[in-house]
Amino acid sequence: MTNLELSWALAEMGDLLELKGEEPFKVRAYQRAARALEHLEEEAASLYARGELERIPGVGKNLAKKIAELLETGRSTFLEQLRQEVPPGLRDMLAVPGLGAKSVRVIHQHLGITTLEELERAARERRIRQLPGMGSKTELAILRGLDMLKENRDRIPLGIARPLAQLFCRQLSALPGVAKVEVAGSLRRGCSMVGDVDLVVGVKGPTEVKEVMARHPQVKEVLLEEENRLSLRTWAGVKVEIFLVPEDKFAPAWLYLTGSPAHREELGRFAAERHLSLEKLGLPRRLEEAEASFRSEEEFYSRLELPFIVPEWREGRGEVWAAREGRLPALITLKDIKGDLHIHTRYSDGLHTIREMVEAARARGYRYMAITEHSRSLAVARGLSAEQLLAQREEIARLNRELDDFVVLSGIEVDILPDGRLDLEDDILASLDIVIASIHSGFNQKEEQIMARLEAAMRHPWVDIIGHPTGRMLGRRPSYAVNLERLLELAAETGTILEINASPDRLDLDEDAARRAKEYGVLLAINTDAHDMGRLEDMWYGITVARRGWLGPEDLLNTRELDGVLKALKRNRGNGGKHSAPGQGNARP
């Protein structure tokens, strides 16, 4: 059993325990272990063979036993028992944006509802509002959430599709007769919500790809089998399309299947203006017509006298003419990122210590990191009081004295409360190196109230960055009522930096908002919001959003050296505060 499969099993245990009403700390233990397994570099099976499962962050004796059983038998007695105790439809109800486990339990206990269809009927018949602790607003939120779920029924977040695709690619690549395997479609283009997981398999001889994948433990059913195509659905509900092509036709097939159709149309218009046709240049009208006409995508674009256009830009938004005229931005890569400015540790709801997070960041080549725990009002995430924040700042100062090639900034992710106040006093915020302000409550407020909260935070002299500005959770919760144009106007006016939150659950700001922010001259920061060392890898998702938003390195805060970062922060641009060395509060260039 792979790490990803183990992660899914523990995540399901956590969900079912939450639906049973177990203590939050127990539920969080399963959720943390699931996150750790998803990002574990070494296979858990290897750790098990050495008796070292408890080395996995968040895994103690109890969870180690459950993981061991999964590895030994492929099954979990505990999980099977939970599935018997909790009606299967209740976990589906957890997927409804805005509907938590407590509400699901109440609805089930009082109305006996076990399916999404029954839930919608009860909401439309106004039976939900009669339940304890619920009202008409709850009903409306449920109906809106169900509508959102329907819209995304056949689409999954990029953060779910990518790990599954990587797993399949590794396994397919090891099969006899397989020359190469690559991801295509909307997943390769980095779309935040993905339809199918499209995989292109270049074959160089007889292969059993279809037979092996049809028997794969992740596969629930075979939807379609043709000579050169296999369509599958996994147990997680993800549709996977596998296309088999001869090795010498791989590049044309890969280009075709990556799309988008709008990009191919734009290429066609561009070619027609030059009295050329895409077919003669080697790009087929249909996959079945692919020929061994070019060996790489770069070769195809060069035939049109174009530079290589990366998949993230292939959306038919003028990228072909921009490429021809040299107007595409410089391509941002992971190497451009100098640090991460939104990090959580064990002080709040993170898995690792400050030192562990720092070492993981240094291993990535970073030069700085900001520790930004939750503030006190977010009790569910063990938000910090002023006293705890002071203790953490002292630890950061000690650590900085040890480091000669890395700087830790002392910060906070302060809550913007429903009435617009910040969750910490001004003197505390002024004493820090960096402050992120975020909304974590009052999501259902009207636009006027939401924008008043954001404006108050952005006009605050000690707020440097607005975190996950629209509050969306992909596939689970829509954005709150943000007026994007007003948000960007305020950011430009106040010099407040906006975040591209790279957590694959969020990707907030999205690509369109990021592109508009660039037009307003607003500086953006790609942050992972990492709660464990593995989540530092999520920077890839943020870079993907930035690429799709046509941002270059110059549009981002954390592509700069530390001195440039500090100069860009609002607190260091004429507020008259006293500043000391980074990590000791109020760092100043």
**Is 334 domain-assigned?**
no
Q: Which two tokens stand for residue 142?
A: 């449920």
**What is residue 587's three-state secondary structure?**
strand
Residue 468 CA to residue 500 CA, distance in Å, equals 7
Whether 350 maps to a domain, the answer reads: yes
State whether 379 and 528 are in the same domain. yes
Same domain, 79 and 208: no
Tokens of 457: 């935070």
- Domain end: 151, 173, 204, which one? 151
**Paired tokens of 135:** 């009202």
The reply to whether 103 and 78 lie within a common domain is yes
Q: What is the DSSP annotation of 450-518?
A: HHHHHHHHHTSTT--EESSTT--BTTTB---S--HHHHHHHHHHHT-EEEEE--TTT-BS-HHHHHHHH
Residue 259 confidence (pLDDT) above 60: yes
Give yes or no for residue 534 having a pLDDT over 90.
no
Q: Are 573 and 541 in contact (CB under 8 A)?
A: no
Q: Is 581 a residue whose pLDDT tops 80?
A: no
Which parts of 235-331 fold into alpha helices (H)?
250-258, 261-273, 278-281, 297-303, 319-324
Considering the chain, what percentage of its residues have pLDDT values greater than 70?
A: 96
Q: Has residue 331 been placed in a domain?
A: no
Residues near 264 by Cβ (< 8 Å), separated by ≥ 6?
Answer: 256, 278, 283
Boundary of a domain, candidates 151, 178, 208: 151
> How far is it, in rounded angstroms, from Cα 12 to Cα 34?
9
Beta strands in 275-365 (DSSP E): 339-343
pLDDT over 80 at 4, yes or no: no
The answer on pLDDT for 578 being more than 50 is: no
Domain shared by 521 and 430, yes or no: yes
User: In terms of domains, do 520 and 386 share one?
Assistant: yes
Q: Residue 529: what pLDDT?
A: 95
Residues 318 and 407 in one domain: no
Domain check: are 200 and 281 in the same one?
yes
Any long-range contacts for 35-38 (C-beta under 8 Å, 24+ apart)? 35/7, 35/351, 35/531, 35/532, 35/534, 35/535, 36/351, 36/532, 36/534, 37/3, 37/4, 37/6, 37/7, 37/10, 37/67, 38/3, 38/4, 38/7, 38/163, 38/534
User: ∠ CA 51-53-58 to the nearest 5 degrees?
Assistant: 155
Q: How many residues does the chain have?
A: 589
- Chain-centroid distance of CA 201 in Å reads 27
Query: pLDDT for 460-469, tens place per residue?
Result: 999 999 999 9
Residues 92, 192, single domain; the answer is: no
Torsion sign, CA atoms 347, 350, 353, 357: negative
pLDDT at 588: 46
Residue 585: per-residue pLDDT: 58
| Same domain, yes or no: 349 and 280 | no
The H or E element that residue 246 is part of is: strand 239-246
Report the C-alpha gap between 428 and 537 in whole angstroms. Answer: 31
Q: Residue 576: pLDDT band by 50, 70, 90 thresholds?
A: very low
Domain with 270 in it: what CATH number? 3.30.460.10
Q: How many other CB atoms sit within 10 Å of the CB of residue 46?
A: 10
- Per the domain annotation, does 310 fall within a domain? yes
Domain boundary among 151, 186, 215: 151
pLDDT at 580: 53
Q: Which amino acid is at 211?
A: E
Provide the number of structural domains found in the chain: 3
Specify if 330 maps to a domain.
no
Measured CA to CA in angstroms, residue 290 lies from 95, 228, 303 at distances of: 40, 13, 17
Identify which has the larger pLDDT, 440 or 578: 440
Mean pLDDT of the chain: 91
Q: What band does 3 get if pLDDT is binned at 50, 70 and 90?
A: confident
Q: How confident is the model at residue 436, as a pLDDT?
A: 98
544 and 564 assigned to the same domain:
yes
Domain-located, residue 332: no
Residue 234 within any structural domain of the chain: yes
Specify whether the CB–CB gap between 188 and 196 falls below 8 A. no
The pLDDT tens digits for 58-92 are: 899 999 999 999 999 888 999 999 989 998 788 78
Q: Give the domain extent around 212.
A: 156-324
Question: Which pLDDT belongs to residue 577?
Answer: 41
- Secondary structure (3-state) at 195: coil
- Tokens at 507, concatenated: 């990707």
Which of the 8 DSSP states describes residue 288? Answer: G
Judge if 208 and 87 occupy the same domain.
no
CB neighbourhood size of 219 (10 A): 16
- pLDDT of 381 reads 64
Task: Answer for the pair 551, 571: CB distance below 8 angstroms, yes or no.
Answer: no
Give the pair of three-digit tokens for residue 587.
Answer: 């760092």
Residues 361 and 504 in one domain: yes
Mean pLDDT of 189-201: 96
What CATH number corresponds to the domain at position 74? 1.10.150.110
User: Which sign does the torsion angle of CA 373, 378, 383, 389 carry?
Assistant: positive
Domain presence at residue 579 = no
pTM for this predicted structure: 0.82
